[in-house]
Amino acid sequence: MWIAKDWKDYRLLDCGGGEKLESWAGQILVRPDPQAIWETPHTNAGWKRSNARYHRSSSGGGHWEKGDLPQQWQVRYKALTFNVKPMNFKHTGLFPEQAVNWDFAMEKIRKAGRPVRVLNLFAYTGGASVACAAAGASVCHVDAAKGMVAWAKENAAASGLSDAPIRYIVDDCAKFVEREIRRGKVYDAIIMDPPSYGRGPGGEVWKLEESLYPFVKLCTQVLSDTPLFVILNSYTTGLAPSVLGYILATLVGERFGGHTEWDELGLPVEETGLALPCGATGRWMAY
């Protein structure tokens, strides 16, 4: 398991009973987590004095029960700064386990010894975009949600990267890639974090099980002749990390050689010393 263990502002204090207890720069949140199905004694005081708790509804969705909680605040990861806030369906705008992928991408970019163009698809609030730009890459950030792209710009500004070469695009990712192919644009690295299900701005339907393989195949057409890496991430329950790795090995590795690896992402749990599984990632790299 690839464990995001270098956080200072984020801490996973405890988890169990279908919930996790977190500290986000001192703000204590309780959120549902489908992986934490074991029981916990709830001895950590944070369970009783959290700043906010997300309650699921039996009919779907849910709501936040908030105490003394800022409308928005910031967390730092190494030299990066991100804005977080409670959103619909339990989210905060940041997935802290993705820090291991940020570190991987930043290291590859810094060691490349050449200009690197990164395409970040389903880019959300721009964690990976900010990380890659901070490492010196030029980035194309694509997401279908206008609000998420605006949030990504705010995160870049918070990290002192307002003037970094980041191009922000609000579009359906597949349609954007198709246009880039027609325009002859290429990228040295691609990061993809596709949803299990979604709709593009024009009502385009995305179902991961049906769309993932052909989408990754499409994306290989915008890779440069000397690509650096490809990251494929998924939070779809039941999709094994090896599936992501096999897709990359088949579609990228057979064409460019290199090396493919895959694993679960995880967060260290302070109360137990265990690690909470948080999705899966496949990575292809040239070396």
Instruction: For 23-53, write each residue's pLDDT tens digit.
Output: 999 999 999 999 999 998 999 999 999 999 9
- Contact partners, residue 192, CB within 8 Å, separation at least 6: 121, 122, 215, 216, 219, 230, 231, 232, 233
Task: Supply 31's token pair.
Answer: 């959120």
Q: What number is the average pLDDT over the span 65-79?
A: 97
Share of residues in the chain with pLDDT > 90 (%): 89
Note the maximum CA span of the chain: 58
Task: Supply 224's token pair.
Answer: 């440069």
Residue 261 has pLDDT above 70, yes or no: yes
Quick one: pLDDT at residue 22? 98
Residue 130 has pLDDT above 90, yes or no: yes
Q: Note the helical H segments in the chain.
A: 99-111, 127-134, 146-158, 173-183, 208-219, 241-248, 254-256
Q: What number is the average pLDDT over the span 272-280?
A: 96
Instruction: For 52-70, write each residue's pLDDT tens digit.
Output: 999 998 878 899 999 999 9
pTM greater than 0.85 (yes/no):
yes
Residue 265 has pLDDT above 90, yes or no: yes
Q: What number is the average pLDDT over the span 17-23?
A: 97
Quick one: pLDDT at residue 203? 74
Quick one: pLDDT at residue 217? 98
Q: What number is the average pLDDT over the span 255-263?
A: 97
Instruction: For 91-121, write each residue's pLDDT tens digit.
Output: 999 999 999 999 999 999 999 999 999 999 9
Task: Provide the phi-psi class of 119: left if phi over 0, else alpha when psi is between -120 and 50, else beta.
Answer: beta
**Which range among 51-60, 82-91, 159-168 shows the weakest confidence by mean pLDDT?**
51-60
Q: Note the helical H segments in 220-279.
A: 241-248, 254-256
Share of residues in the chain with pLDDT > 70 (%): 99
Contacts 24+ apart (CB under 8 A), 63-71: 69/27, 70/27
Task: Supply 54's token pair.
Answer: 């997300």
Quick one: pLDDT at residue 181? 98
Task: Give me the half-sphere count of Cα atoms (radius 13 Å) on the Cβ side of residue 27.
Answer: 20
Quick one: pLDDT at residue 230? 98
Tell me the pLDDT of the chain averaged across its residues: 95
- Contact partners, residue 154, CB within 8 Å, separation at least 6: 83
Residue 201 has pLDDT above 70, yes or no: no
Residue recorded with tokens 């705008």: 93
Are the C-beta atoms of residues 53 and 62 closer than 8 Å to each other?
no
Quick one: pLDDT at residue 276? 98
Domains of the chain plus CATH, in order, are 7-84 (2.60.40.1180), 97-285 (3.40.50.150)
Q: What number is the average pLDDT over the span 134-140?
A: 98
Which DSSP letter does residue 73 get? E
